[in-house]
Amino acid sequence: MYLLIDEKGRQYLIRGDDDFHTNYGVISSSELLKKRPGSIIETQTGRKFFVLEPSMLDFIKKSKRGPQAITLKDCSLIASYSGIHPGSRVVDAGTGSGILAMFLASITCPEKLTTYEIREDFAEIAERNFEKGGIKNIKLKLKNIYEGIDERDLDVITLDLPEPWRVVEHAKRSLKPGGYLVSYSPSIEQSKRFYDRLDGFMSETVECIIRNWDMRVVRPHSRMIAHTAFITFARWLGSSVPR
Amino acid sequence: MYLLIDEKGRQYLIRGDDDFHTNYGVISSSELLKKRPGSIIETQTGRKFFVLEPSMLDFIKKSKRGPQAITLKDCSLIASYSGIHPGSRVVDAGTGSGILAMFLASITCPEKLTTYEIREDFAEIAERNFEKGGIKNIKLKLKNIYEGIDERDLDVITLDLPEPWRVVEHAKRSLKPGGYLVSYSPSIEQSKRFYDRLDGFMSETVECIIRNWDMRVVRPHSRMIAHTAFITFARWLGSSVPR
Amino acid sequence: MYLLIDEKGRQYLIRGDDDFHTNYGVISSSELLKKRPGSIIETQTGRKFFVLEPSMLDFIKKSKRGPQAITLKDCSLIASYSGIHPGSRVVDAGTGSGILAMFLASITCPEKLTTYEIREDFAEIAERNFEKGGIKNIKLKLKNIYEGIDERDLDVITLDLPEPWRVVEHAKRSLKPGGYLVSYSPSIEQSKRFYDRLDGFMSETVECIIRNWDMRVVRPHSRMIAHTAFITFARWLGSSVPR
Amino acid sequence: MYLLIDEKGRQYLIRGDDDFHTNYGVISSSELLKKRPGSIIETQTGRKFFVLEPSMLDFIKKSKRGPQAITLKDCSLIASYSGIHPGSRVVDAGTGSGILAMFLASITCPEKLTTYEIREDFAEIAERNFEKGGIKNIKLKLKNIYEGIDERDLDVITLDLPEPWRVVEHAKRSLKPGGYLVSYSPSIEQSKRFYDRLDGFMSETVECIIRNWDMRVVRPHSRMIAHTAFITFARWLGSSVPR
């Protein structure tokens, strides 16, 4: 696989086994084969492209995704605020296009991450994304997590579901004491309903807002993504204080 | 090591080899020794504490740090936007109290991360933090990174320095094509000066803002951290297009 | 009345009929009497103060206020998004310490603004603020607006109340077609409940966030006010489309 | 003039002397003439429109404007943070399409506001906007404010100019002690250069960010305007403390 970047910064992730047709001419497959990462290749019309070796992050950015797919900033926050690191035991649901699962699995590696999905069409998209990204440490289950979690002794459970509160009791049985149940919800009403069920957890709800700057003119860009989701980090304390 | 959490959510990281004196009475060391993670311990006055096994994240949060130490949200963004994962080859400078180095090393593990610092007093604080956190895959160098980078073939270089622009030429020789030079600067003028030197890189400058919600009353908390730093992610393209 | 500003930018609103004691010495009343706006006065220890004539805005900023009193940014938005101008007919409730009423009355002037309050202690604080600010075009009513609005043909009704939805039906009878019912609520749940009653209105709910910059070092200040309230602007259309 | 609002909330400002053609049929001029504000009119195909009397705010919102024209939130903040009220003496430059001048004049009314513009094409657009809005208390001068300000004893001077620092010395001669010089700049570098000249002023630089909520689903809208300008409020102290 190759990552090509044109002079305007547009990025293309290609296999390289066929010639690649751009708006500015053709990049020859046989030419590309000879190039090392960091070199420049030209189309037959002289347009230049940088040739790089794609990273896992490039695969994730270029994955096929639905309109509501989770953003990198939120993947990032989920991983760091719940302390995910190599070897962490993680369950994720629902899979959707698999972006969050891929991101987290790239950190837990080589530990396997399990992701639950009930829709077969989503599962197929996700499996293709995992394959393209060369990620092998994800196990996808076609199962409804509202009905239970098979895994035990987990460090983190991540939820991107319409009714996350239905997982809270299952999570108590599956998390290690000190483990995190994380829920990602676009609406604050969902978040509130989830929060109200978190007996025995210590929780925090946050939004992560990224503001991009245009450094040529030294000002923020005019438009930005204002909202993706509220993320609740609930740490399971392992037992409830009797009230 | 033990993480104790009181009923108000305050957290204490303790070794447990001595009795622990709180405002609400004493927690006995011999009692604590018998507790498993997820259980509750009481002071002699009956105040309850949850007993947990601390994670790497707990160590990082409780590390000794200076007034300007980097926050978790920024560590997180740096790691994810530059694609750091297990095995990534990373150089960091300056070390400061070592928070960013610890955070990144907990992901690159078992790959060793190298961190540069010129002040011996900071280096000592950082080394103690690494030891307390049990992090073994960091190498600290007492060296000025403005004078050069010894390492080659790096995936990421992270900078928290007053004059990050002085590292740009060194970075070109040390980064893999496609690798990231990341600079963390409180002031936008520093960021601009850094940006102006980034010939041959593709860059993005962002701020990360976290807004915390008080879910009992369903509103954002009244006060927040408004600013920590501007973070510039500069991807080295491996060669410059002649202009 | 005089506005004194010391060299650190701290501001003092004083009557000037007595000597004024500062941490840096005394400002003599007889000296002050001779000063014109824009001149400098010194304490007997040589500390300098700028002497200015206070504006309405200075009175409002220095008014006695409760802990939850509305901020200038929100007063400002309420006035402008509802199109308040000289001559606008406005009703406000509850008065609280009277900050919003004063701000709006300073614009509607000479048109009288009416403000409703049920608590006598608040009414007294507000009346004193109006008097100190020299604002004469406010009429304060000790009355519960949940029970009805006496005024008719209004341009704007502003609410800072725990149950703003109880005013919606009254507002329909009191607003001109095209007039605004504005509600200021700290919690999004209150805002939602208000919103759900707005049949026959066209509405918009916003937050106004002010970010202050420290221009000496060209970066935002580290801490900021993250949240005051959600403000809903509901424009009365004058009649409902039958569904 | 009439303000028509369709069932989706779209707004149309029309004179009403001709039939009005919409995507959903025609609104007859003679029908419209019989309607009072707050009533409903139908196209010949039965589509309903609310009929309202437009306010000054509606005229301002519908004014012809350039791509960079100032937003209502910023007009609002400028007026309130500088204490503009009925009777305030204000000079504005450059006029551009006249939005800010109109907004401020609608508050200073009946006091005349003076606005400076050097480009005749802009001046013409602005004059037409003033006429349409029925605003009579604005005097437009075809003059370069960098060369001086004719007016004296001003409460506020507002600048939307590429080089606002060139007005600082003129402002000192034209402002009352305690008056405000306000500069609106998209770039922080312009703001910094302006700030560095503000000897004898007390200043504050802010951004105003409005976040809109979608109350049907109780979440912020996905996209927002992230940046318009940095606004510096500089209060003239009337004399400088010798250093």
Residues C143 and C45 in one domain: no
Which of chain A's residues have a Cβ under 8 Å away from the Cβ of B205?
212-213, 215
Size of interface A-B (CB pairs under 8 A): 180
Residue C164 pLDDT class (50, 70, 90 cuts): very high
Given D188, D222, D228, which is nearest A218 (Cβ)? D188
Could you tell me if B91 and B154 are in contact, meaning their C-beta atoms sit under 8 angstroms apart? yes
Q: For strand A20-22 and strand C230-236, is the pairing parallel, antiparallel, or unpaired?
A: unpaired
3-state secondary structure of B31: helix
Residues A137 and A76 in one domain: yes
Residues C153 and C78 in one domain: yes
Which of chain D's residues have a Cβ under 8 Å away from the Cβ of C38?
176-178, 237-239
| Closest Cα in chain A, distance from residue C192 (Å) | 10
pLDDT digits (tens, 9 = 90+) for B201-230: 999 999 999 999 999 999 999 999 999 999
pLDDT at B195 over 80: yes
Residues A21 and A131 in one domain: no
Which of chain B's residues have a Cβ under 8 Å away from the Cβ of A80?
57, 72-73, 75-76, 79-80, 103
| Residue C34, burial from CB neighbour count under 10 angstroms (0-12, 13-18, 19+) | exposed
Residue D242 in domain: no
Residue A243 in domain: no
Q: What integer pLDDT is reported at residue C223 of this predicted model?
A: 93
- Which residues of chain C are at the A interface, by a Cβ-Cβ cutoff of 8 Å? 188-189, 192
D99-108 and D72-81 helices, crossing angle to 10° = 40
Please judge whether D239 and C50 are an interchain contact, meaning their C-beta atoms are less than 8 angstroms apart: yes
Q: How many CB atoms lie within 10 A of CB A28?
A: 15
Q: For strand C175-185 and strand C154-159, is the pairing parallel, antiparallel, or unpaired?
A: parallel
3-state secondary structure of A150: coil
Given D37, D109, D155, which is nearest C177 (Cβ)? D37
**What is the Cα–Cα distance from B134 to B115, expressed in whole angstroms?**
16
Report the candidate in D183, D60, D231, D77 with the shortest Cα–Cα distance to residue C79. Answer: D77
Residue B64 pLDDT class (50, 70, 90 cuts): confident
Q: Which two tokens stand for residue A151?
A: 């895994």
Q: Find, in chain A, the residue whose alpha carbon is nearest to that of C187.
A: A188
Q: What integer pLDDT is reported at residue C56 of this predicted model?
A: 85
In the structure, how many helices (H) and strands (E) does chain B have? 7, 15
Q: Which two tokens stand for residue C189?
A: 């749940």
Q: Which two tokens stand for residue C5?
A: 């500003």
Q: What is the CA radius of gyration of chain C?
A: 21
Q: What integer pLDDT is reported at residue C240 of this predicted model?
A: 61
Q: What integer pLDDT is reported at residue B65 of this predicted model?
A: 79
Report the candidate in C49, C145, C138, C150 with the shortest Cα–Cα distance to residue C102. Answer: C138
Could you tell me if C203 and C235 are in contact, meaning their C-beta atoms sit under 8 angstroms apart? yes
Could you tell me if D104 and D90 are in contact, meaning their C-beta atoms sit under 8 angstroms apart? yes
> Which CATH number does the domain housing residue C198 bear?
3.40.50.150
SS (HEC) of C41-58: EECCCCCEEEEECCCHHH
Residues B111 and B35 in one domain: no
Residues D76 and D24 in one domain: no
The set of long-range contacts for D45-50, using a CB threshold of 8 Å and a minimum separation of 24, is: D47/D6, D47/D7, D47/D22, D48/C241, D48/D6, D48/D7, D49/D4, D49/D5, D49/D6, D49/D7, D49/D12, D49/D22, D50/C237, D50/C238, D50/C239, D50/D4, D50/D5, D50/D6
Q: How many CB atoms lie within 10 A of CB D27?
A: 25
Q: CB within 8 A of C44, min separation 6: which ones?
A: C25, C26, C28
Q: Is the dihedral of CA C138, C143, C148, C150 positive or negative?
A: negative
| Closest Cα in chain B, distance from residue D193 (Å) | 12
Q: Which two tokens stand for residue A214?
A: 């245009």
Residues D174 and D185 in one domain: yes
Q: Which of C54, C75, C92 is the last residue of a domain?
A: C54
Residues B140 and B222 in one domain: yes
pLDDT digits (tens, 9 = 90+) for C22-72: 888 999 999 999 999 999 999 989 999 999 999 888 998 888 877 778 999
Residues A81 and A155 in one domain: yes
Which of chain D's residues have a Cβ under 8 Å away from the Cβ of A222?
225-228
Q: Which two tokens stand for residue D19?
A: 């039939």
Q: What integer pLDDT is reported at residue D89 of this predicted model?
A: 98
Residue A178: CA count within 13 A, CB half-sphere:
23
Q: Which two tokens stand for residue C181?
A: 């019912």
Q: Provide the residue range defining the domain that includes B13.
A: 2-54
Q: Which residue has the tokens 């001559």?
A: C87
Q: CB within 8 A of C60, min separation 6: which ones?
A: C72, C75, C99, C102, C103, C106, C133
Of the candidate ranges B160-169, C96-105, C120-129, D234-243, the one whose mean pLDDT is the lowest: D234-243
Q: CB within 8 A of A44, min separation 6: which ones?
A: A25, A26, A28
Complex ipTM value: 0.94
pLDDT at C243 over 70: no
**What is the Cα–Cα distance from B161 to B117, expressed in whole angstroms?**
10
Residue C16 in domain: yes
Residues A14 and A69 in one domain: no
**What is the Cα–Cα distance from D27 to D16, expressed in whole angstroms?**
9
> Which CATH number does the domain housing residue B46 bear?
3.10.330.20
Please judge whether A238 and B52 are an interchain contact, meaning their C-beta atoms are less than 8 angstroms apart: yes
> Which residues, listed in sequence order, are joined to residue C236 by a DSSP beta bridge?
C201
Please judge whether D186 and A228 are an interchain contact, meaning their C-beta atoms are less than 8 angstroms apart: no
Q: Which two tokens stand for residue D95?
A: 């006029």
Given C37, C86, C177, which is nearest D86 (Cβ)? C86
pLDDT at B243 over 50: no
Q: CB within 8 A of A90, min separation 6: which ones?
A: A84, A104, A105, A108, A111, A113, A114, A154, A155, A156, A157, A158
Q: Is the dihedral of CA C198, C202, C207, C210 positive or negative?
A: negative
Q: What integer pLDDT is reported at residue A240 of this predicted model?
A: 61
Q: Which residue has the tokens 């046989």?
A: A30
Could you tell me if C13 and C1 are in contact, meaning their C-beta atoms sit under 8 angstroms apart? yes
Q: CB within 8 A of D149, min separation 6: which ones?
A: D91, D157, D167, D170, D171, D173, D174
Strand ranges for chain C from DSSP E:
2-6, 11-14, 20-22, 25-27, 40-42, 48-52, 90-93, 113-117, 138-142, 154-159, 175-185, 201-214, 219-220, 223-225, 230-236
Residue D57 phi, psi (nearest 5): -60, -40
- DSSP state letters, A2-37: EEEEETT--EEEE--SS-EEETTEEE-HHHHHHPPT
**What is the Cα–Cα distance from D1 to B43, expressed in whole angstroms?**
76
pLDDT digits (tens, 9 = 90+) for B68-77: 789 999 999 9
Residue A201 in domain: yes
Could you tell me if D237 and C38 are in contact, meaning their C-beta atoms sit under 8 angstroms apart? yes
Residue B240 pLDDT class (50, 70, 90 cuts): low
Q: Find, in chain B, the residue whose alpha carbon is nearest to that of D192.
A: B189
**What is the Cα–Cα distance from B75 to B55, expressed in whole angstroms?**
16
Q: For strand D219-220 and strand D201-214, is the pairing parallel, antiparallel, or unpaired?
A: antiparallel
- Domain total for chain C? 2
Q: Which residue has the tokens 């060139």?
A: D166
Residue B242 in domain: no
D148 φψ region: left (φ > 0), alpha (ψ -120 to 50), beta (else): left
pLDDT digits (tens, 9 = 90+) for D150-200: 999 999 999 999 999 999 999 999 999 999 999 999 999 999 999 999 999
Please judge whether B192 and D189 are an interchain contact, meaning their C-beta atoms are less than 8 angstroms apart: yes
| Closest Cα in chain B, distance from residue D188 (Å) | 9
Which of chain B's residues have a Cβ under 8 Å away from the Cβ of D189?
192
Which of chain C's residues have a Cβ under 8 Å away from the Cβ of D203?
215
Q: Find, in chain C, the residue whose alpha carbon is nearest to that of B187.
A: C219
Please judge whether C222 and B224 are an interchain contact, meaning their C-beta atoms are less than 8 angstroms apart: no
- Which residues of chain D are at the A interface, by a Cβ-Cβ cutoff of 8 Å? 186-189, 211-212, 217-228, 230
Which of chain A's residues have a Cβ under 8 Å away from the Cβ of B241?
7, 40, 48
Residues D70 and D95 in one domain: yes
Q: Which two tokens stand for residue B219?
A: 């509103």
Residues C148 and C179 in one domain: yes
Please judge whether B80 and A83 are an interchain contact, meaning their C-beta atoms are less than 8 angstroms apart: no
pLDDT digits (tens, 9 = 90+) for D6-62: 988 899 999 999 999 988 899 999 999 999 999 999 999 999 999 999 988 999 888
**Ranges in chain A, pLDDT < 70:** 240-243
DSSP 8-class letter at A149: -
Burial D91-119 (b: 16+ CB within 10 A, else e): bbbbbbbbbbbbbbbbbbbebebbbbbbe
Q: What integer pLDDT is reported at residue D241 of this predicted model?
A: 47
Residue B108 phi, psi (nearest 5): -70, -15
> Which residues, listed in sequence order, are joined to residue A6 by a DSSP beta bridge?
A49
Cis status of the peptide bond prior to A94, with omega within 30 of 0: yes
Residue C187 in domain: yes
Cis status of the peptide bond prior to D110, with omega within 30 of 0: yes
3-state secondary structure of D209: strand
Q: What integer pLDDT is reported at residue A241 of this predicted model?
A: 47
Residue C94 in domain: yes
Could you tell me if C76 and C102 are in contact, meaning their C-beta atoms sit under 8 angstroms apart? no
Report the candidate in B73, B107, B240, B93 with the shortest Cα–Cα distance to residue A57. Answer: B107
Q: What is the mean pLDDT of chain B?
A: 94
Q: Which of C38, C54, C70 is the last residue of a domain?
A: C54
Select the more confidently predicted residue: B25 or B163: B163
Residue C7 pLDDT class (50, 70, 90 cuts): confident
**What is the Cα–Cα distance from A94 to A100, expressed in whole angstroms?**
10
Which of chain A's residues have a Cβ under 8 Å away from the Cβ of B9?
202
pLDDT at D66 over 80: no
C72-81 and D72-81 helices, crossing angle to 10° = 130
Q: What integer pLDDT is reported at residue A64 of this predicted model?
A: 81
| Closest Cα in chain C, distance from residue A189 (Å) | 8
Q: Which of B54, B72, B87 is the last residue of a domain?
A: B54
Q: Find, in chain A, the residue whose alpha carbon is nearest to that of D186.
A: A219
pLDDT at B242 over 50: no
Q: Find, in chain B, the residue whose alpha carbon is nearest to that of D187.
A: B188
**What is the Cα–Cα distance from B36 to B53, expressed in whole angstroms?**
9
Which of chain C's residues have a Cβ under 8 Å away from the Cβ of A189?
192
Please judge whether D83 and C208 are an interchain contact, meaning their C-beta atoms are less than 8 angstroms apart: no
Residue D241 in domain: no
